[in-house]
Amino acid sequence: MVSIAAADLLNVWERGRAEPPYVRALRLLAAALPDATFESLADWGLGRRDAALLTLREQLFGDRFNAVATCPECEARLEMDFSTADIRVDYATDELPPISHVHDGHVYLVRLRPLTTHDLVEVAADPVQHNLVRRVTLDARRDGAPLPVNELPPDVMAECTRALFECDPQADVQLALTCPECGHRWEALFDITTYLWSEVETWAARTLREVHLLASVYGWTESEILSLSSTRRRAYLQMAAG
Ligand SMILES: [Zn+2]
């Protein structure tokens, strides 16, 4: 993973403003991974994608997260401070834990791969459950013999769907929270794409303001200003402010 130049990150931000979160996630990674294309990234499992986004986040903005949650019981505000290491999961990315299910005296065994961005896009266009499960099934068996996915009983199908959304741990990071006021405990989903994108938006607004100030004072072009290191940019901003 390479660090993204300021000009490239601004381009990603500009294009991504009108795009859905899954496209933003892949655009950020495509800018940081020169050997990967947008299309090839769309075939990554969501956990692998989110692990790479965590690494990118460390490069861009460091490894500490600060966030605020509201207690669902008493509405107290809870400040959270954690690091990328706290939410990084160590696991194999190419296959989910197998699903074993007994139904009407038959033993069903299904092996699934993790969901990818491509799957989410296809499923949004065609939300039929067994089409989704068929896409991601590596192998399905009844009593040891291969079985077409559309012959899986409904409860096995439901189990497969549940596993898809819950068994890719890096794609489903839950923060365990305890309210300091009332002691209520709950879990909150942490979505790295949402968090990182909001930081990119804040960064872009500040960077454009800096370009504006330096261009006004020194007459430099946007690309000249963006090619300065952040240390030099800050130094010139201080001098410009007098
Ligand atoms: Zn509370």
Same domain, residue pair 79 and 153: no
**Separation of 74 CA from ligand 1 center, angstroms?**
4
Q: Which of 11, 44, 14 is nearest to 26 (CA)?
A: 44
Could you tell me if residue 137 is inside a domain?
yes
**Separation of 71 CA from ligand 1 center, angstroms?**
5
pLDDT for 218 beyond 80? yes
**Separation of 188 CA from ligand 1 center, angstroms?**
14
Same domain, residue pair 140 and 190: no
**Separation of 76 CA from ligand 1 center, angstroms?**
5
Helices (H), 33-152: 38-41, 46-61, 84-87, 117-125, 129-136
**Separation of 178 CA from ligand 1 center, angstroms?**
8
Q: Which of 233, 98, 223 is nearest to 164 (CA)?
A: 98
- What's the mean pLDDT in 71-100? 88
Q: Which of 200, 191, 171, 175 is nearest to 59 (CA)?
A: 200
Could you tell me if residue 93 is inside a domain?
no
Q: How many domains does the chain have?
A: 2
pLDDT for 8 beyond 90? yes
Tokens 């499960």, residue located: 133
List the domain range (segments joined by +) for residue 139: 99-167
Domain final position from 167, 200, 225: 167
* This model's pTM is above 0.75: yes
| Cα first-last separation, the chain | 38
| Tens of pLDDT, residues 88-119 | 987 656 788 899 999 999 999 999 999 999 99
C-alpha to C-alpha distance for 242 and 232, rounded to whole angstroms:
15
| Tens of pLDDT, residues 175-216 | 999 999 999 999 998 999 999 999 999 999 999 999 999 999
Could you tell me if residue 161 is inside a domain?
yes
Could you tell me if residue 41 is inside a domain?
yes
**Separation of 82 CA from ligand 1 center, angstroms?**
20
Same domain, residue pair 116 and 180: no
Same domain, residue pair 60 and 103: no
Domain final position from 121, 138, 167: 167
Domain final position from 143, 167, 191: 167
pLDDT at 130: 67
Could you tell me if residue 12 is inside a domain?
yes
**Separation of 80 CA from ligand 1 center, angstroms?**
14
Contacts of residue 209, defined as CB under 8 A and 6 or more positions apart, other chains included, come to none
What is the percent of the chain where pLDDT is above 70?
98
pLDDT at 164: 84
Same domain, residue pair 136 and 67: no
Tokens of 225: 């200003």
Same domain, residue pair 227 and 118: no
C-alpha to C-alpha distance for 50 and 103, rounded to whole angstroms:
35
Buried b (16+ CB within 10 A) or exposed e, 86-125: ebeeeeebeebeebebeeeeeebbbebbbbbbebeeebee
Could you tell me if residue 146 is inside a domain?
yes
Dihedral sign (CA 149, 151, 156, 159): positive
The residue ranges of DSSP E strands in the chain, in sequence order, are 64-70, 77-83, 99-103, 106-112, 137-142, 145-146, 173-178, 185-190
Same domain, residue pair 69 and 34: yes
C-alpha to C-alpha distance for 224 and 177, rounded to whole angstroms:
46
Same domain, residue pair 13 and 109: no
Tokens of 37: 């294309």
**Separation of 23 CA from ligand 1 center, angstroms?**
36
Same domain, residue pair 132 and 233: no
**Separation of 78 CA from ligand 1 center, angstroms?**
9
Same domain, residue pair 47 and 75: yes
C-alpha to C-alpha distance for 20 and 29, rounded to whole angstroms:
15
Could you tell me if residue 201 is inside a domain?
yes
C-alpha to C-alpha distance for 92 and 168, rounded to whole angstroms:
10
Same domain, residue pair 184 and 83: yes
Could you tell me if residue 94 is inside a domain?
no
C-alpha to C-alpha distance for 13 and 83, rounded to whole angstroms:
24
pLDDT for 2 beyond 90? no
Same domain, residue pair 182 and 198: yes
